[in-house]
Amino acid sequence: MVEIESFFIDNEEIKLEAEFFQSSSDQTSAVLVCHPHPQIN
């Protein structure tokens, strides 16, 4: 069963919607994925 956490990350006064998958075997490494422009893609 894969669990994805959904939460908000605070950036000063802004809240960023986020999803995080936590590895069960390696908690020291992670990948951050950045999405394309909302008005182009």
Partner 1 sequence: MEFGGNMRNNVVSAVFNIFMSNDISCLRFNFRAVGRSTGSHSSGRGELSDAKACIDFLITNKQVEKIFICGYSYGAAIGCSTVSHTERIIGYASISFPWDFMGAKYKKLSQTDKPKLFIQGDRDDIANFNKFQDHFEFYNNPKAFKIIEGADHFYWGYDTQAADEVFKFYQSII
Chain residues binding partner 1 by CB under 8 A are 2, 4, 8-41
Query: Do 3 and 17 touch, CB atoms closer than 8 A?
Result: no
Minimum separation from the CB atom of position 6 to partner 1 (A): 10
Measure the CA–CA gap between 19 and 10, rounded to whole angstroms.
13
Torsion from C-alpha of 31, 6, 41, 35, nearest 10 degrees: -20
Minimum gap (Å) between residue 9 Cβ and partner 1: 5
**CB 19, min distance to partner 1, A:** 5
